[in-house]
Amino acid sequence: MSQTSNEIRNVVDNWVDEKISNIHTALNGKIISYDASINRAIVQPSGTYKTEDYREFAYPIIYNVPVVFPTGMGGNSGVTFPISSGDGCLIIFAEKQLDDFVNNSNTSDDLRKHSLNDAICIPGLYTNATKSNIKHANSVCLFNGSAMLQITENGFSGILNGTDFKFADGDLVVNGISLLHHTHGNVENGGGSTGEAQ
């Protein structure tokens, strides 16, 4: 291959690399703050980027980012959870500008693509070192701090304020006491009360 061909190839490669460097798809990051009243977050992408003159900078903080929770039925059914500053997240950048979609309009003539301005935040991306309550591969789990609800195909169980409960085979057991099969002590005739269930 001639020297001229190599030079042309290098020019093309550099041009393609430059264009690709401005295409943002997805980055891991962290949540700086979250406003539940409008479901928007301020996020910080991880890592750095290089400018055309080879200077390296941290990615900028991105404001007013929509947060995605699992929802359906037009937003009338879903799962939400508290978000704290410093939580990990996946930041996705839309192929086209999001202004029209977010504002339910079709008035923008901005043709930007894969821009940092069109970010969406999916909370819950952490490193392997992050402690996680996701330990039950065959259950649907809802947890918040020390509270846990675990649903299996045979029933559900959980812990709430130090009280453990389990519902299975048509019976509810709370702190080891069965709703169907418990007994009472201190039974007496008349208007008195029984003792606590055993």
12-46 pLDDT tens trace: 777 776 666 667 789 999 999 999 999 999 999 99
Q: Does residue 133 register a pLDDT over 60? A: no
pLDDT tens by residue, 170-188: 899 999 999 888 877 766 6
* pLDDT range class, residue 136, cuts 50, 70, 90: low
The residue whose two tokens read 């978000």 is 83
Q: What is the pTM of this model?
A: 0.72
Q: Rounded to whole angstroms, how far apart are CA atoms 95 and 119?
A: 10
Query: Residues of the chain with pLDDT > 90: what percent?
Result: 32
* pLDDT range class, residue 109, cuts 50, 70, 90: confident
Q: What is the mean pLDDT of residues 121-134?
A: 76
* pLDDT range class, residue 65, cuts 50, 70, 90: very high
Q: Tell me the fold of 3-129.
A: OB fold (Dihydrolipoamide Acetyltransferase, E2P) (2.40.50)
pLDDT tens by residue, 149-158: 888 888 889 9
Q: Rounded to whole angstroms, how far apart are CA atoms 28 and 90?
A: 5
Strand order across the 88-93 sheet: 62-66, 40-45, 26-35, 88-93, 119-123
Q: Does residue 66 register a pLDDT over 80? A: yes
Q: What is the mean pLDDT of residues 58-73?
A: 93
Domain boundary assignment for the chain: 3-129, 133-198
Beta strands 26-35 and 119-123, pairing class: unpaired
The residue whose two tokens read 């069109």 is 118
Q: What's residue 122's pLDDT? A: 96
